[in-house]
Amino acid sequence: MTVVRVTVPLFLPKALDYALEEGAQGVLNRFVEVPVGKKKVHGLVTELPESSPFDKLKTATLLDAPAVSAQTSQFYHWVARYTLSYPGESLRAALPGGYVPEPVVPDTGYLPTGKMPEKMTDTRKKVLDTSAECGEALTQAELARRAGVSPAVVKGLAEQGCLRAVPILDAEPVLSPAQVPTLSAAQKAAADAVAAAMTGRTFTPFLLDGVTGSGKTEVYFDVLAEQLAQSDGQSLILVPEIALTPQWLDRFEKRFGFRPDVWHSSIADGARRKTWWRVLEGKARVVIGARSALFLPFADLRLVVVDEEHDSSYKQEEVFRYHGRDMAIVRARLANCPVVLASATPSLESWNNTAEGRYTLLHLPERHGDAQLPAVRMIDLRQSKTGADAYLSPTLLAAIEDRLAKGEQTLLFLNRRGYAPLLICRGCGHRFNCPSCDASLVVHGARLTCHHCGFTEHTPETCPSCDSPSLHAFGPGTRKVIQEVLQHFPHARAAVADRDSVQSDADMADIVTRMEQGALDILIGTQMIAKGHHFPNLTLVGVIDADMGLAHGDLRAAERTFQLLTQVAGRAGRAEKPGEVLLQTYNPEHPLFAALKTFDRDAFYALELKSRKGGGFPPFGRLTALILSGPREGEVITCGQHLARQFPQADGLRLLGPAPAPIARVRDKYRYRLLVRSSQPAHALVKHWLESTPVPKGVRIDIDVDPQSFY
Ligand code: ADP
Ligand code: ZN
Ligand code: ZN
C-alpha cells in the first residue's frame, strides 16, 4: 500500500492523503479518483509522503491515463503559489469541469475481409465493391450512403464476417506546407535566433517587435515548421480569444497543410475532450488557444508563442486571477524552451524587460511589401464641433464624403469593448441604475443591462419617476453613429460590427466578405474590428472617441489607449492606396497623440516608463490588490482597517487603503480595496499577513496579484 498526497480541483488549502493499493512506482503525477465527503472527484498525485499524519486513509483509484509531465505538475504548483490561490484552483483550470475528460471513443468503421457472403445479392455486392474501392474504413452509415443501400445491408455483412469492424483513427497531421514565403533578412535572423534556443533546449524569452503587417506571424510560423521537422514535441500558440478566427485557422492550414488543435472556453465538448487527450498523449503537435490552453497537460513542450502579448484579455479577472502572458513565461522556463512574445505595441512590462536585458529583442523594421504607414491627424473637437447629441465632427464628415466620392471605404471606431449608451429621462434627468450595483444600466437593443451583475430588464416606455415618455439613449453607441452616418449620407452602404450585432463566426465572416467585396462603404464597430483584418480598399479610419479610456485614470489608461489606437490605425491603407487616420479628441495635447502622429512609440514608452518609475508602479514595483466584500458595509470597513493595522512594515513596502472600490457595490455586496505596493514580488509576505489576521465570516477577500483592472 502506498500513501499518496492528492491535489483535488476544489477550493481547499491543501492536498489530501489517500491510500493506494499499488506500489509507489510511476504513481507520481498520475490522475486518480478519490472520495471527498460524499463525492468522488478526480485529482493529481502530487506527492508521495513516507507516511501520513492521518490514520484510516480512504482509498484512491488510479485512472487509466498517462502521468502528466513533471514540468506540467510543477507549473500548476507554481501558478497557485504565485497567485496566492489554492493548489486545486490551477488544477481546475487544467480539468474542464473538474474531471479528467471522458476519452473520445473513435467511430467504428468497416473494412472487407475477403470472405464472400453465403448468398450474394446486388446490394451486398455494391457494399463490398464500394468498400474495396475506397480502401479505408468507413462508418456503417457512410458506407451505406456511398453504396446507395440501407445500413442494414452493411450490418448483415459484418455479422457474416465479410466486413470487419475497426476503429477510425484521425489522420495524424502531415506537414505539407503549401505557401512557404521566403523570409526577409530581418525575419530570418529573428526566426533563427528562436530556433537556436529551441534546438539547444534553453529557456529564452524573446520580444518580437514589429508593426502590424511586418511579418511577425511568418517568423513564428517558420520556427514552428522547424519544430515540427525537428522533434515529436509540442508547440503552444496563445492568441487573444477574439483573434482566434476561422481566417486565422485557414491561414495556418494553408501554411502547414493541417489544422492545429484548438482550445478556448467555448469549444464544443467533443473537441474539448479530444484535444485534451491528444495533448496529454503528445499527439497534438500544435495547440492554438486562449489563455486557458496554458494549463493543458503538455507532454513535451518545445515552443511557446504569445501573440499580441500586450492584450489585456490575457489576464483572467474572475476567481483564479492569473496573467496568461506572465504564466506563459513560467511555462516556458519550466519546459526549457523559448517563448516568443509578439506585438506591435508591447506591454511596458515586456518593453522594460527587454531594456533591462531579461528578454531578447527581435525587431522587424518595416511592413512587408510596399504598404506605407497611414497619415495620422487629430481633430480637435473644441474647434471642429459636432452638433448637439451628435458624434461626427465636420472634419470627419468631410473626409467620409471624400472617400464615398472616390469609392473607397471608411472604418469608424468606437473605443471600448461593448460600449453602449446610458438611458436618461429628458423630462427630469432620471438615470436608470442597477438595483444591486453602484452602476448605470446600459442600452442593449430593447433591454437595459448591468455590466457588473448581468441584471437585465425591458426598456420602459415612460420614466418611472416623472412619467415622461421622452427617454433618451445618451452616449455614442454604434447605433447612434450609424443613424448619424445615414442622416448625412443616405445612400452610403453602412453596417455595424459590435457584440450585439455580431454573435457568431458566421456573422463576422459575413461582414468581412462584404468589406472585401466592396459591398460596404462604411463599417462602424468596436474593439472586435480593431485587429487582424485586411481590407485593401479601406483608406480612412475615424476614431469617434479617442479620449475614451484616458479619463479612467487607471495606471495603464494611456498605455492601453495608445496600443488600441495604434492597432486601429493599422487598419488604414494596408495596400497600395495611402491611408488616413483621424482621431477625434478634446485632448490633442496629450503626449500619446503626438506619439501616434509621428509613430514615435519609443518616445511615448520612455515617457510612460519615467512616470511609472517615479511612482514606484509596475513594471518597477509590484502591486497586489485585495478586494474585500460583504453584505454589511461596517464589517467590511472594520476588517479592512484591521488588516491595515496588521500590515508588516518593511523597506520598499507600502499599503494603500482601505478605500471604497470605484464600483463600491456589486450584487448587493459592499466592496473595499487594499493595494500592496512592493519593490519585490510579495506573495510570501501577503500570504503570511493574511494567514495571521483573522477575517470575519461576513467578509470575503479576493486577491489579485499584478492587477490589471482596478474597478
Ligand atoms: P504580422 O504578424 O506582423 O502582422 P504577418 O506575418 O501577418 O505580419 O504578415 C503580413 C502579410 O505579409 C501577410 O499576408 C504575410 O503572408 C505577408 N508576408 C510576411 N512576410 C512575408 C514574406 N517573407 N514573404 C511573403 N509574404 C510575407
Ligand atoms: Zn423623468
Ligand atoms: Zn448590477
Mutational pocket test of ligand 1: of 255, 368, 370, 373, the residue with most ligand atoms within 8 Å of the beta carbon: 368
Burial class (CB in 10 A: 0-12, 13-18, 19+), 37: exposed
The mean pLDDT value for 334-352 works out to 96
In this structure, what are the phi and psi dihedrals at residue 601, rounded to the nearest 5 degrees? -60, -45
- Both 55 and 120 in one domain: the answer is no
How many other CB atoms sit within 10 Å of the CB of residue 302? 26
Residue having the nearest C-alpha atom to atom 5 of ligand 1? 215
pLDDT band of residue 193 (cuts 50, 70, 90) is very high
- In the three-class reduction of DSSP (H, G, I as helix; E, B as strand; rest coil), residue 101 is classed as coil
What's the number of domains the chain is made of? 5
CA of 370, nearest ligand number: 1
> Rounded to whole angstroms, how far apart are CA atoms 701 and 84?
12
Residues 501, 473 contacting (CB under 8 angstroms): no
- Which of 559, 591, 612 terminates a domain? The answer is 612
Q: How far is the CA of 475 from the centre of ligand 2 (A)?
A: 18
Q: How far is the CA of 173 from the centre of ligand 1 (A)?
A: 24
Mutual orientation of helices 246-256 and 216-230 as an angle, nearest 10°? Answer: 50
Q: How far is the CA of 498 from the centre of ligand 1 (A)?
A: 27
CB of 212 within 6 A of ligand 1: the answer is: yes
* pLDDT higher than threshold 90 for residue 422: no
Cell numbers at residue 638, please? 472594520
Q: How far is the CA of 450 from the centre of ligand 3 (A)?
A: 5
* CA 168 to chain CA mean position, Å: 33
CB of 216 within 6 A of ligand 1: the answer is: yes
Q: How far is the CA of 264 from the centre of ligand 3 (A)?
A: 27
- Both 541 and 648 in one domain: the answer is no
Percent of the chain residues past pLDDT 70, beyond the cut: 96
pLDDT digits (tens, 9 = 90+) for 156-192: 999 999 999 888 876 666 666 667 889 999 999 999 9
Residues 561, 415 contacting (CB under 8 angstroms): yes
CB of 531 within 6 A of ligand 1: the answer is: no
- In the three-class reduction of DSSP (H, G, I as helix; E, B as strand; rest coil), residue 451 is classed as coil
Q: In what order do the strands lie in the sheet with 538-543?
A: 375-380, 580-585, 538-543, 409-413, 522-525, 494-497
* CA 369 to chain CA mean position, Å: 30
Q: To which residue does cell 480595496 refer?
A: 673
With respect to residue 444, please indicate whether it lies within any of the assigned structural domains: no
Residue 434, C-beta contacts closer than 8 angstroms, at least 6 positions apart: 440, 441, 450, 452, 453, 455
Angle at 130 between CA 125 and CA 133, to 5 degrees: 120
> Rounded to whole angstroms, how far apart are CA atoms 438 and 196?
54
pLDDT band of residue 553 (cuts 50, 70, 90) is low
What CATH number did the domain enclosing 571 receive? 3.40.50.300
Between the CA of residue 373 and those of 21, 97, 256, what are the distances in Å?
67, 47, 30
Query: Which residue blocks in 287-387 are alpha helix, DSSP H?
Result: 324-335, 348-355
- Which of 56, 77, 98 terminates a domain? The answer is 98
- Both 73 and 222 in one domain: the answer is no
- Both 268 and 128 in one domain: the answer is no
- In the three-class reduction of DSSP (H, G, I as helix; E, B as strand; rest coil), residue 158 is classed as helix
- Both 643 and 661 in one domain: the answer is yes
- In the three-class reduction of DSSP (H, G, I as helix; E, B as strand; rest coil), residue 363 is classed as strand
> Rounded to whole angstroms, how far apart are CA atoms 587 and 548?
11
With respect to residue 425, please indicate whether it lies within any of the assigned structural domains: no
pTM to 2 decimals? 0.86
- Both 223 and 258 in one domain: the answer is yes
Residues 337, 201 contacting (CB under 8 angstroms): yes
CB of 181 within 6 A of ligand 1: the answer is: yes
With respect to residue 454, please indicate whether it lies within any of the assigned structural domains: no
Q: How far is the CA of 693 from the centre of ligand 3 (A)?
A: 31
DSSP assignment letter at 427? T
599: left (phi over 0), alpha (psi -120 to 50) or beta: left
CB of 184 within 6 A of ligand 1: the answer is: yes
Residue having the nearest C-alpha atom to atom 15 of ligand 1? 215
User: Which segments within 374-532 are labelled E, that is strand?
Assistant: 375-380, 409-413, 422-425, 442-444, 447-449, 456-458, 471-474, 494-497, 522-525
* pLDDT higher than threshold 80 for residue 130: yes
**499 versus 556: which is more confidently predicted?**
556
* pLDDT higher than threshold 90 for residue 429: no
- Both 406 and 549 in one domain: the answer is yes
> Rounded to whole angstroms, how far apart are CA atoms 403 and 539?
8
Question: For residue 596, what pLDDT is reported?
Answer: 86
Q: Which amino acid is at 461?
A: E
* pLDDT higher than threshold 60 for residue 210: yes
pLDDT digits (tens, 9 = 90+) for 40-52: 999 999 999 998 9
Mutational pocket test of ligand 1: of 180, 217, 345, the residue with most ligand atoms within 8 Å of the beta carbon: 217
The mean pLDDT value for 66-85 works out to 95
- Both 117 and 215 in one domain: the answer is no
With respect to residue 438, please indicate whether it lies within any of the assigned structural domains: no
| Range of lowest pLDDT (418-432, 445-459, 499-513, 674-688) | 418-432
Q: Which amino acid is at 391?
A: Y
Question: For residue 628, what pLDDT is reported?
Answer: 95
Query: Which residue blocks in 281-323 are alpha helix, DSSP H?
Result: none
- Both 566 and 677 in one domain: the answer is no
Residues 48, 4 contacting (CB under 8 angstroms): yes
**388 versus 584: which is more confidently predicted?**
584
Q: To which residue does cell 519609443 refer?
A: 602
With respect to residue 38, please indicate whether it lies within any of the assigned structural domains: yes
Residue 288, C-beta contacts closer than 8 angstroms, at least 6 positions apart: 236, 237, 238, 239, 244, 248, 249, 252, 260, 261, 262, 263
Q: How far is the CA of 688 from the centre of ligand 3 (A)?
A: 34
CA of 429, nearest ligand number: 2
* pLDDT higher than threshold 50 for residue 418: no
Strands 447-449 and 301-307: unpaired
> Rounded to whole angstroms, how far apart are CA atoms 425 and 433?
12
Question: For residue 581, what pLDDT is reported?
Answer: 92
* pLDDT higher than threshold 60 for residue 417: no
The mean pLDDT value for 186-206 works out to 97
CA of 449, nearest ligand number: 3
With respect to residue 565, please indicate whether it lies within any of the assigned structural domains: yes
CB of 570 within 6 A of ligand 1: the answer is: no
- In the three-class reduction of DSSP (H, G, I as helix; E, B as strand; rest coil), residue 430 is classed as coil
**19 versus 599: which is more confidently predicted?**
19
How many other CB atoms sit within 10 Å of the CB of residue 443? 23
**212 versus 361: which is more confidently predicted?**
361
Question: For residue 172, what pLDDT is reported?
Answer: 64
- Which of 582, 612, 642 terminates a domain? The answer is 612
Q: To which residue does cell 519544430 refer?
A: 227
**584 versus 530: which is more confidently predicted?**
584
Report the chain's mean pLDDT, rounded to a whole number: 89
> Rounded to whole angstroms, how far apart are CA atoms 100 and 198?
31
Q: How many Cα atoms occupy the beta-carbon half-sphere of 240 within 13 Å?
A: 17
With respect to residue 471, please indicate whether it lies within any of the assigned structural domains: no
Q: How far is the CA of 432 from the centre of ligand 2 (A)?
A: 10
Q: How many Cα atoms occupy the beta-carbon half-sphere of 560 within 13 Å?
A: 20
The mean pLDDT value for 281-305 works out to 96
What CATH number did the domain enclosing 662 receive? 3.30.70.600
- Both 25 and 142 in one domain: the answer is no
> Which residues constitute the domain of residue 404?
375-418+476-612
Residues 664, 671 contacting (CB under 8 angstroms): yes
CA of 575, nearest ligand number: 1
The mean pLDDT value for 145-150 works out to 91
Question: For residue 368, what pLDDT is reported?
Answer: 55
* pLDDT higher than threshold 70 for residue 616: yes
Q: Which residues hold their Cβ within 5 A of ligand 3, which is an ion?
A: 434, 436-437, 450, 452-453, 455
CB of 215 within 6 A of ligand 1: the answer is: yes
With respect to residue 487, please indicate whether it lies within any of the assigned structural domains: yes
Percent of the chain residues past pLDDT 90, beyond the cut: 56
The mean pLDDT value for 318-343 works out to 96
* pLDDT higher than threshold 50 for residue 200: yes
In this structure, what are the phi and psi dihedrals at residue 65, rounded to the nearest 5 degrees? -145, 145
Mutual orientation of helices 140-147 and 122-134 as an angle, nearest 10°? Answer: 110
Residues 41, 22 contacting (CB under 8 angstroms): no
pLDDT digits (tens, 9 = 90+) for 347-374: 999 999 999 999 999 999 876 555 667 8
- Both 551 and 626 in one domain: the answer is no
Q: How far is the CA of 343 from the centre of ligand 1 (A)?
A: 14
CB of 182 within 6 A of ligand 1: the answer is: yes
- Both 552 and 641 in one domain: the answer is no
> Rounded to whole angstroms, how far apart are CA atoms 14 and 42?
15
The mean pLDDT value for 118-145 works out to 89
> Rounded to whole angstroms, how far apart are CA atoms 463 and 180?
62
> Rounded to whole angstroms, how far apart are CA atoms 297 and 110?
33
> Rounded to whole angstroms, how far apart are CA atoms 576 and 539?
10
What CATH number did the domain enclosing 46 receive? 3.40.1440.60
CB of 533 within 6 A of ligand 1: the answer is: no
Q: How far is the CA of 214 from the centre of ligand 1 (A)?
A: 6
| Range of lowest pLDDT (197-211, 236-250, 255-269, 526-540) | 526-540
| DSSP calls for 599-641 | T-HHHHHHHHHHHHHHHT-TTSSEEEEEEEEES-HHHHHHHHH
